[in-house]
Amino acid sequence: MRNKIIDLITDSIKELDRETVSRILEIPPQEDMGDFAFPCFQLSKIFRKAPNIIAQEVAEKIKKTDFVSKTAAMGPYVNFFIDRTMFVSEMLKQVSVDNYGSSEIGCGKTICIDYSSPNVAKNFHVGHLRTTLIGNSIYRIYKKLGYRVERINHLGDWGTQFGKLIVAYKKWGSKEAVEQNGISELMKIYVKFHEEAEKDDTLNDEARAWFVKMEQGDEEALSIWEWFKDISLIEYKRIYELLDVDFDSYAGESFYRDKTSAVVDELKKKGMLKESEGAFIVDLEKYDMTPCLIMKKDGSSIYATRDLAAIFYRKKTYDFEKCIYVTGMEQKLHFAQVFKVVELMGYEWAKTDLIHVPYGLVSLEGGKLSTRSGNIIYAEDILRESVSKIKEVINDKNPDLQDKEEVAKMVGIGAIIFNDLYNQRIKDVTFSWDKIHSFDGETGPYVQYTYARAASVLRKTGITDVPEEIDSSLLTDEASVSLLKELIRFPEVVETAAERLEPSVVARFVMSVAQAFNHFYHENQCNVEDEKLKRARVKLVIIAKKAIKDGLDLLGMKCPEQM
Ligand code: ARG
């Protein structure tokens, strides 16, 4: 439709080319300003007249077509009013295609997303929940655009902390306690290690010695480490299962332990390594950054070295177009340093293809959350509490609902996902049960409820097949057109969300569709006598319902047919 308007303008006014018109053509903010607006500010140079005058002349010159019912100059704008029936029929045609919202722009290209990536033997806290949800949504968005996406869980499963854990386990741990209490037991003995090491520094030496053993492949050290990792993964996978999140690779930091020396060698060969107090660094002073530590005094690698090795491994293995890292803001410097080092090694692609996607903090508002230990907030506890609270609501409001458990899970988990993804990721997320569980705020439950309402409307009409040929003139009322105007944005929304690595763009879209649908629902009865009218409205309900589902799917949320 946009193209048709562009044609119309360029056909009528020879001085204007398609590119210029396309660049400035807008969608006006209000219904009474028509469907497209052509601002004439920038045309003063070409026509040497005031924009208002140009607007008037353009409006008069535009050829009459049956497609445009009216053109009118309003100040410096020319507003185009498209014939309602044609407009509706054109929009319907677009939103009815199979795979609406998908595209092929990513075909043949690969994106790596590094997200979730918890630290073994440490709890999966709300910060890890955010990277998991944001990463999962970005994965889904890129997938929708046809990209091949490698989901990578870069587990924090290597480093000196494991030496400490082994010492702690040997001194104060027991197999039964670890098996029974999992990560919280590992955290407990880890804390004890630090308390005891305050008093007795030789514990630290012991810990270092155990980590050296790990790096040298000592069987005992590695088998304890492996076991801690398995124990931790059981808990992480329980969370991933709740969230329905998956990964293509769990190659964490330990995976790169035999791949760091090649990086160190290359840095040496390229003359980039500098000795500093026995350790080796890459100096980044010129770039206003603190040095990137590459190798410690004792020769062991660190977090950054393993990230460097991971970048080269991924480039070679996946030939990624982009490698995206989703972590909290506090790692901004880390990634800036690592990416800079790759660039300085002579890899130009580091400038464009390595992307850090930071996000804000989660803070709690009002009400207490029940957690296993005072101040650490376990993601799993929050998720389960959310599900059980929603179940109470269902038991109260709709006790006969089928699949109560399933629905409570979809809505309880969905509420948390939606709250997390609704605002720009860089903003802090506040968390209060009342707010996120409200059925009429800007929440997950509101959108899911809208979906269930659409499903219920359809059930009542008894129409099961999608009505094919419908009379578009029956959907020209304000509420139907507004709904269509929201739906029509979907493909553009997905692309923008991908470009900005911003799931909130999708979340906002789904909210607008849900609101427009509810407006439509209040204005228009669907189950009417008039069969033609009924079929037309049903068609629109089916399309809106599907858009909500597809939109929520991009956020990693599910939709109950009843709730
Ligand atoms: N394990 C880290 C953490 O929990 C996040 C790892 C992010 N990915 C990476 N390649 N550095 O903070």
Same domain assignment for residues 283 and 390: no
- Which residues form the catalytic set? 122, 125, 128
Residue matched to tokens 């900005």: 500
| pLDDT (tens digit per residue) in 131-183 | 999 999 999 999 999 999 999 999 999 998 999 999 999 999 999 999 999 99
| Of the listed ranges 18-22, 370-374, 387-391, the one predicted with least confidence | 370-374
Closest residue CA from atom 8 of ligand 1: 154
Cβ of 35 below 6 Å from ligand 1: no
**pLDDT confidence of residue 65:** 86
Q: Quick check: CB of 118 below 6 Å from ligand 1?
A: yes
Q: pTM for this one? A: 0.93
- The pair of structure tokens assigned to 561 is 């047919």
Give the count of beta carbons closer than 10 Å to the beta carbon of residue 236.
Answer: 22
252 CA closest ligand 1 atom index: 10
* Same-domain check for residues 274 and 197: no
Asked whether residue 512 falls in the same domain as residue 424, the answer is yes
Task: Indicate whether 6 belongs to any domain.
Answer: yes
Which residue in 500, 513, 519, 507 sits closest to 554, CA to CA? 507
Pocket lining: 159 vs ligand 1, CB cutoff 6 Å: no
Residue 535 shares a structural domain with residue 397 = yes
Query: Residue 46's pLDDT band (boundaries 50, 70, 90)?
Result: confident
| Residue 10 pLDDT | 92
* pLDDT for 455: 97
Dihedral sign of CA atoms 543, 544, 547, 553 in order:
negative
Q: What is the average per-residue pLDDT within 417-431?
A: 93
Q: Is 253 in the pocket of ligand 1 (CB under 6 A)?
A: no
- Least confidently predicted of 210-219, 413-422, 445-454: 210-219
445 lines ligand 1 (CB under 6 A): no
The edge-to-edge listing of strands for the beta sheet with 36-39 is: 36-39, 77-82, 68-74
Query: 318, 320, 310, 325: which is closest to 134 by C-alpha?
Result: 325
- Indicate if ligand 1 lies below 6 Å from the C-beta of 114: yes
CA of 154 to the centre of ligand 1 (A): 6
Q: Which residue CA neighbors atom 9 of ligand 1 most closely?
A: 154
Considering the domain architecture, whether residues 236 and 324 belong to the same structural domain is answered as: no
Q: Which atom of ligand 1 is nearest to the CA of 114?
A: 8
308 shares its domain with 199: no
Q: How far apart, in whole angstroms, are the C-alpha atoms of residue 413 and residue 385?
A: 10
* CATH code of residue 76: 3.30.1360.70
Neighbours of 334 (CB within 10 A): 16
Q: Does any ligand 1 atom lie closer than 6 A to the CB of residue 254?
A: no
Write down the pLDDT at residue 32: 87
- 302 within some domain: yes
Q: What is the mean pLDDT of the segment spanning 545-559?
A: 98
Average pLDDT over residues 333-350: 98
CATH of the domain at 266: 3.40.50.620
pLDDT at 180: 95
Q: What is the model's pLDDT at position 375?
A: 58
Domain end marker among 328, 359, 390: 359
Range of the domain at 31: 2-82
Question: Is the pLDDT reported for residue 191 higher than 80?
Answer: yes
Q: Select from 124, 154, 161 the residue to mutate for testing ligand 1; criterion: most ligand atoms less than 8 Å from CB.
A: 154
Say how many Å lie between the CA of residue 358 and the centre of ligand 1: 12
Residues 407 and 489 in one domain: yes
Whether residue 208 is found in the same domain as residue 262: no
Rounded Cα–Cα distance for residues 430 and 444 (Å): 15
Residue 35 lies in a domain: yes
CB of 257 closer than 8 Å to CB of 301: yes
Among candidate residues 243, 273, 295, the one where a domain is terminated: 243
Please state the rounded mean pLDDT for residues 443-459: 97
Is 136 within the bounds of a domain?
no
In tens, the pLDDT along 203-253 reads: 999 999 999 899 899 999 999 999 999 999 999 999 999 999 999 999 999
According to DSSP, the β-strands at 354-359 and 148-152 are unpaired
| pLDDT band per the 50, 70, 90 thresholds, residue 300 | confident
pLDDT at 301: 82
Residue 421 near residue 392 (C-beta atoms within 8 A): no
Give the lowest-confidence range in 38-52, 116-130, 330-344.
Answer: 38-52
Cβ-defined contacts of 8-14 (< 8 Å, 24+): 8/62, 8/63, 8/65, 8/67, 8/68, 8/80, 9/38, 9/58, 9/62, 11/63, 12/58, 12/61, 12/62, 12/63, 13/58, 13/61
Atom of ligand 1 nearest to the CA of 156: 1
Is 117 a pocket residue for ligand 1 (Cβ < 6 Å)? Answer: yes
Ligand 1 in contact with 252 (CB < 6 A)?
Answer: no
Per-residue pLDDT, 287:
97
**Is the pLDDT confidence value at 374 over 80?**
no
How many percent of the chain have pLDDT more than 70?
98
156 lines ligand 1 (CB under 6 A): yes
According to the model, what pLDDT value does residue 364 have? 73
- Based on C-alpha coordinates, what's the Rg of the chain? 29
Residue 510 C-alpha to ligand 1 middle, in angstroms?
30
The answer on 297 and 152 residing in a single domain is yes
Local confidence band at 366 (pLDDT 50, 70, 90 cut-offs): low
Q: Which H or E run includes 242?
A: helix 219-243
Going from the Cα of 117 to the center of ligand 1, the distance in angstroms, rounded, reads: 5
Mutate to test the pocket of ligand 1, among 114, 117, 320 (most ligand atoms within 8 A of CB): 117
Burial 3-27 (b: 16+ CB within 10 A, else e): ebbbebbbeebeebeeebbeeebee
- Indicate the residue among 57, 82, 107 that finishes a domain: 82
Residue 394 has pLDDT above 70, yes or no: yes
Reduced to 3 states, what is the DSSP secondary structure of residue 73? strand
Which tokens hold the place of 349? 């692609």
Q: Is residue 121 part of a domain?
A: no
* Structure tokens given for 241: 């299962």
pLDDT category at 36 given cuts 50, 70, 90 is: very high
Q: Are residues 272 and 167 in the same domain?
A: no
Supply the ipTM of this predicted assembly. 0.99
Q: Whose CA is nearest to atom 3 of ligand 1?
A: 118
pLDDT tier for residue 466 given thresholds of 50, 70 and 90: confident
- Do 270 and 332 fall into the same domain? yes
Pocket mutation for ligand 1, best pick of 315, 320, 327 (most atoms within 8 Å of C-beta): 327
Same domain, 467 and 490: yes
Confidence of residue 372 (pLDDT cuts 50, 70, 90): very low
CATH number at residue 419: 1.10.730.10
Average pLDDT over residues 41-67: 89
Q: Which pLDDT score, from 0 to 100, does residue 371 have? A: 46
Q: Is residue 252 a contact partner of residue 158, using CB atoms and an 8 Å limit? A: yes
* Structure token pair of residue 330: 């506090």
